[in-house]
Amino acid sequence: MSDGDLTRREWLIRGAGTVAAAGTAAAGGFLLHDPDGDAGLRKPSDGAQRLRNYFETIDFPAGDPRISVAVGNESQIEQLVRAAVGGLAPNDGIKRFVSKGDVVLVKPNVGFDRSPHMGATTNPEVLRWVIRLCKEAGAGKVIVADNPIESPEACFAKSKIRDVTDEEGAKLVLPSQVHFESLVIRDSVPDARKREALGRWPIFYSPLAQATKVIGVAPIKDHNLCGASMQMKNWYGLLGGRRNQFHQAIHNIVSDLGMMMSPTLVIADATRVLMRNGPTGGRISDVKIGGEMGRPSVVASVDQVACDAWCCEHFLGRDPAKLAYLELAAKKIAAQVAGGAKRFGEPDWRTYERQGKIVTTGV
Amino acid sequence: MQKPHPRKGKVKITRFRDSWRNLTRITTIRIAAQCVTFAMFLAFVLLTTFANLDRYPGLRLWVSKILEIDPLVSIATAITTHTVYKGLLWSLIILIPTLFLGRFFCNWVCPYGTLHQFVGWLFRKLRPKDTIEVNRYKDIQHVKYYILAAMLVAAVFGSLQIGLLDPICLIYRSFTGALLPAANMPAQEIFGDYKVHRGAWLLGIVIFGLVAMNLVIPRFFCRVLCPLGALLGALSRFAWWRIERDPVKCTDCDLCLLNCEGASDPHTQLRKSECFVCFNCIEDCPEDALSFAFLPPKKHEVPHTDVSRRKAIFATVAGVLFYPFVRASGRSTRDFSAKVVRPPGSVEELEFLERCIKCDQCIRVCPTNVLQPAWFEAGLEGLWTPIMNFRIGHCQLNCTACGQVCPTGAIQRMPIEQKLGLGEFSEDGPVKLGTAHFDTGRCLPYSKNTPCVVCEEVCPTSPKAIYSERRSLTVREGKKMAMSATDNTVRVTEWPRPGQPVGEPVLFDIDRWRGDETTIYHVSIRHQDGTTESHRISGNDTDTVMIEGRFARRPAEGAAVVMQIEFKVPKVDTNLCIGCGICERECPVVGDRRAVYVTAEGETRSDQYRERDRNRSLRLLKTASCSGGGHASEAHKIDLRDFLT
């Protein structure tokens, strides 16, 4: 046999290789074939993730207080936080809300690059004691996360939230594209006429996905668009995407946020209340210690709607009936409750007052 | 090709001593030095972030250090500004040794040179004979001297262009704009979102292309283009030490060219200005004919740069003409672009162009990504200088990081009180980068009857520079005619138009006019005697509008009933606006242009404010401390504490 000729073995090997390549090409082609050409139009099918209800897993008797107010001094942040949480669960304290091994997401408001004195961000000392309480209750991990308007590094540094988070051994999660996921907030396309804003939307999900409990810790602030920025508006920091478009119908989005998030607990930081020029503030004179109450306070609640209403009236001295998002959120939450969800959403705090579900503790 | 060991066979050496000798070889030490300087460069660039400077303020003195030791930066800025800015004095640690040792910087220190050498070593594999050929001196190596001459002449006139090709500026800029974001893209989990940079593709192509040229001509950039190399080459003319060939020992084998980095012809008369002092030739010489000698015979060298005088003059002419060409374009003077919003602390534009070396360290450190390398907004001269792009980010109120890292003072180091106009700076007011304007044709409340004012929400000054006014506008086709009325309702028909019958019925959606918290509808009644009254609408039927309260006078049939929408319309108080651009960044009208935008108008660095800025910077130098303010009143102290803590 001359050098140029293929042996039978070589011929078989080459033939088999060619046939295999042709087969792979054909199989691949048919496998990936889009006969109708509509693949580009199909809805993304990536897991229709939804947010959990973080309140559902705790045992909360219907007759217990739902708003607990602690009033004291600036030097008594620890006692304020303990008393506020303790008021909701006199025997268990924080242990009712956080169990051993829980992963707790604590969500402060770090929206702007402001020092703590400016009242535009959560008081870091309040946050410190919330984290400590969670750890005392045996939380396995405490995560602190927010998606600020300005650069996250700067906001977390300037507001001292990063310092407190590091000192207390909590995990700080700064927003980055990898942490966001498109979640189904509402099955239907949002209809502005029905005062809806969110359908499917990118959410700062990775901390929420890990968490078994969520605690919102937001300051009480004036807000030029929606009147007041408190606990429900705080969840705005969980939104990604082009969220600035929502401001055209701000009450729709804030009430949708109230519907979207069912936190384990909210803790209102009314130590430094931003009375005007909100939500950014910028001058010491915009801030009033303790707001209209006159004394630094911390409010804990399992009903963020009623809590916002109470805080609006008592700290900002404004009529909560003018905050349209409270009524809207209450309606949206009522629809969830009718569908079997376990949560509270009472727009008028006086209802709770009549039922004796508001407790006040002096520290 | 195996390089014969000079002492092979003469002395028996143990393996240990052999490896020790390898370690202490001068070329091994050189490689170690290159690794150290490259690692320092990389560490400095990586550390140049807002978060790091915030945590470790001392870092600001280090992160631009490799730029500060660059003699071309200090000499060229000394030519344009007649001063040597702060840390640029460090360049003496390169400049003075060069006068004695030659262009050692190129092969011992320069991170860009190291990058070229490494890539060439890794990817360029030629036969030894061909390698020797590509390492011979070539006339094209003159080019860098022409480039240097043209750039320095342009600098004499006040246009600093060395940054375009200075290797340190170039590598800093390429890492900031192209390479680090590229590395960051897959590593977002660790480092957070990657930043975007206008024209990153061009920065990427430039550095990749220049590095790729190594496969054609080794160290192409260093030998042919590098203006810093040219400067150091010129300075090394009088060097006391240099590579010296012993013509008696030399067998003319040309093996010294095998690894010659600078193509400086060590095999014959050494071209001093081209030699990188890499010592490869000494290592490679099988006859020990080469040495690094002290004041060797002058006839064995080509000391001068071997540039043709006519061509040098021609290059000078290019530099001379560059200045009038770019300035006559007017971009930095009368046809100044309003898009050129410079970072806070920037000196006046013409001085800025005398100082900015386009290293883009400010862009690297900027926490919001607002600083972007310019294209031609600031003219040809301003290519790759920092300008603000408020579609991408905004200038954060409590941040002066860009000025902290600027090596040349184009952006001045400035305490935060100066930027905000607090304490001793309260008389001067805050640094203003520009002014916000509304594009009323795009703004939702202005032109689309849609409530918005996000701009007001995010405005960081106190009181807010952006405020809003309530304004009523007649709704499209909102003019109707009254048919009948009660005390608080009015039934309407279409306003008669020419050619149409009177009394055309209307058909409103139920509660179409009720509005909500942010949108309020009014009905304005124009009675037939010309008097008017206006009421808030509480609801409507298909043809009847209900109002809150009562009419002063029931509208008679034929009265005009005009539907008006009322909402907040944003305005800007130009005296309070500091031009930070957060309004533009957050504006929900995205498109190609936002409805609110910031231009450089009113910037405090501009000519009209120049004297004031100078004065306050000088005053700053005179006060002992930046942060305390010994003269500050009690009230100011409170302010400072609030902003500085």
> What pLDDT is recorded for position A347?
92
Residue B88 domain-assigned? Answer: yes
Shared domain for B253 and B357, answered yes or no, is no
Domain, as residue range, for B504: 466-572
Q: What is the percentage of chain A residues whose pLDDT exceeds 90?
A: 65
pLDDT at res. B23: 78
Could you tell me if B361 and B415 lie in one domain? yes
Q: If residue B262 lies in a helix (H) or strand (E), which one and from where to where?
A: none
CA distance A237 to chain B (A): 14
B102 backbone φψ class: left, alpha, beta (φ>0; ψ -120 to 50): left
User: Does one domain contain both B429 and B475?
Assistant: no
Mean per-residue pLDDT for B436-465?
Answer: 90
Window from B87-101, B213-227, B354-368, B496-510 with minimum mean pLDDT: B496-510
pLDDT value of residue B644? 41
The Cα-based distances of A157 to A114, B429, B462 in angstroms read 9, 26, 21
Percentages of chain A per state (helix, strand, coil), in multiples of 5: 45, 20, 40
Name A287's bridge partners.
A274
C-alpha–C-alpha distance, residues B109 and B228, integer Å = 12
Whether residues B395 and B535 fall in one domain: no
pLDDT score, position A229: 94
Q: Say whether pLDDT at B642 is over 50.
A: no
- The more confident residue out of A178 and A270 is A270
User: Would you tell me the crossing angle of helices B15-24 and B26-47 to the nearest 10 degrees?
Assistant: 50
pLDDT given for residue A131 in this prediction: 96
Q: What is the pLDDT of residues B216-259, one digit of tens each?
A: 999 999 999 999 999 999 998 888 899 999 999 999 999 999 99
What is the pTM assigned to this prediction? 0.81
**Percentage of chain B exceeding pLDDT 90:** 60
**Helix (H, G, I), strand (E, B), or coil: what is residue B260?**
coil
Q: Of A137-141, B1-5, B424-428, B622-626, give the lowest mean pLDDT range.
A: B622-626
Alpha-carbon span B19 to A17, nearest angstrom: 50
Task: Write phi, then psi, for A265 (nearest 5 degrees).
Answer: -160, 145
At which of B533, B551, B572 does a domain end? B572
| Residue ending a domain, choose from B247, B279, B302 | B302
How far apart are alpha carbons A37 and B7 in whole angstroms? Answer: 74
Question: What was the pLDDT predicted at B634?
Answer: 38
Q: Rounded to whole angstroms, how far apart are CA atoms B390 and B228?
A: 35
Q: What is residue B616's predicted lDDT score, i.e. its pLDDT?
A: 54
The region of weakest confidence among A197-206, A313-322, B374-383, B469-478 is B469-478
Hey, are the CB atoms on B398 and A154 less than 8 Å from each other? yes
Q: What does the block give as tokens for A130? A: 């919330």
Q: Is B86 inside any structural domain?
A: yes
Q: How many CA atoms lie within 13 A of B370 on its CB side?
A: 32
Phi, psi of B227 (to 5 degrees): -70, -30
* Amino acid making up residue B471: R
Give first-to-last CA distance, chain A, whole Å. Answer: 104
In this prediction, residue B636 has a pLDDT band, given cuts at 50, 70 and 90, of: very low
Domain match, B404 and B268 both = no
Evaluate whether residue B488 is within a structural domain: yes
Give the C-alpha distances (Å, rounded to integers) separating B542 from B46, B229, B526, B561: 66, 83, 21, 15
- Pair A306, A330: CB distance under 8 Å: no
Give chain A's mean pLDDT: 90
Query: Would the pLDDT of A152 be above 80?
Result: yes
pLDDT for B312-343, tens place per residue?
888 889 889 998 898 888 888 778 888 899 99
What Å distances lie between residue A13 and A4, A10, A19, A145, CA to CA?
16, 5, 10, 60
Average pLDDT, chain B: 87
Q: Do A113 and B398 touch (CB under 8 A)?
A: yes
Q: Chain A closest CA to B426's CA: distance in Å?
A: 14
Residue B612 — pLDDT band, cuts 50, 70, 90? low
Mean pLDDT for the stretch of residues B527-548: 92
Question: A126 pLDDT band (50/70/90 cuts)?
Answer: very high
Average pLDDT over residues B531-540: 92
**Same domain for B158 and B258?**
yes
Total count of domains within chain B? 3
Distance from B396 to chain A by nearest Cα, in Å?
A: 7
Is the confidence at residue A322, as pLDDT, over 70? Answer: yes
Same domain, B379 and B521: no
A279 interaction partners in chain B (CB closer than 8 Å): 457
Q: Which of the 8 DSSP states describes residue A7?
A: P
DSSP 8-class letter at B24: H
Of these ranges, A35-39, A175-179, B379-383, the one predicted with the greatest mean pLDDT is B379-383
| Domain closes at, from B524, B557, B572 | B572
| B135 Cβ under 8 Å from any chain A Cβ | no
Nearest Cα residue to B108 out of B196, B30, B46: B30
The CA distance from B642 to B645, in Å, is 6
Q: Coil, strand or helix: which one is B220?
A: helix
The pLDDT of residue B9 is 47
Residues B638 and B551 in one domain: no
Give pLDDT tens digits for B389-433.
999 999 999 899 999 999 999 999 888 889 998 888 888 789 999
Do B87 and B230 have their domain in common?
yes
Which residue's entry shows tokens 């607090």? Answer: B422
- A and B: number of Cβ contacts within 8 A: 115
Q: Report if residue B398 sits inside a domain.
A: yes
Residue B150 included in any domain: yes
Domain annotation covers residue B449: no
Examine residue B325 and state whether it is found in any structural domain, yes or no.
Answer: no
pLDDT score recorded for residue B434: 92
> Does residue B560 have a pLDDT over 50?
yes
**Same domain? B271 vs B148:** yes
Closest CA to B410 of B452, B448, B355: B355
Cis peptide before B463 (omega within 30 of 0): yes
Structure confidence at residue A268 (pLDDT)? 95
Helix (H, G, I), strand (E, B) or coil at A115: coil
As a whole number, mean pLDDT of residues A257-277 equals 94
Q: Name the residue with tokens 């916002």.
A: A308
Q: Residue B293 contacts by C-beta under 8 Å, 6 or more apart in sequence?
A: B241, B242, B243, B244
Q: What is the pLDDT of residue B371?
A: 97
CATH number of the domain within which B559 lies: 2.40.30
Q: Does B518 touch chain A (CB under 8 A)?
A: yes
What integer pLDDT is reported at residue B3 of this predicted model? 52
Best mutation site among B49, B370, B457, B571 for testing chain A: the one with the most A CBs within 10 Å?
Answer: B457
pLDDT, greater one: A125 or B451: A125
Instruction: Tell me the nearest-neighbour CA distance from B464 into chain A, angstroms.
Output: 7
Report phi then psi at B472, rounded to 5.
Answer: -105, 135
Q: Indicate whether B577 belongs to any domain.
A: no
Under an 8 A CB cutoff, do A150 and B582 touch?
yes
Same domain, B366 and B409: yes
Distance CA B424, CA B437 (A): 30
Give the position of tokens 């019958």. B501
Check: CB of residue B536 under 8 Å from CB of residue B525.
no
Closest in A115, A178, A248 to B588, CB measured? A248
> For the segment B261-310, what is each residue's pLDDT rounded down to a tens digit?
999 999 999 999 999 999 999 999 999 999 999 888 888 888 776 677 88
B393 and B256 housed in the same domain? no
Task: Band the pLDDT of B633: cuts 50, 70, 90.
Answer: very low
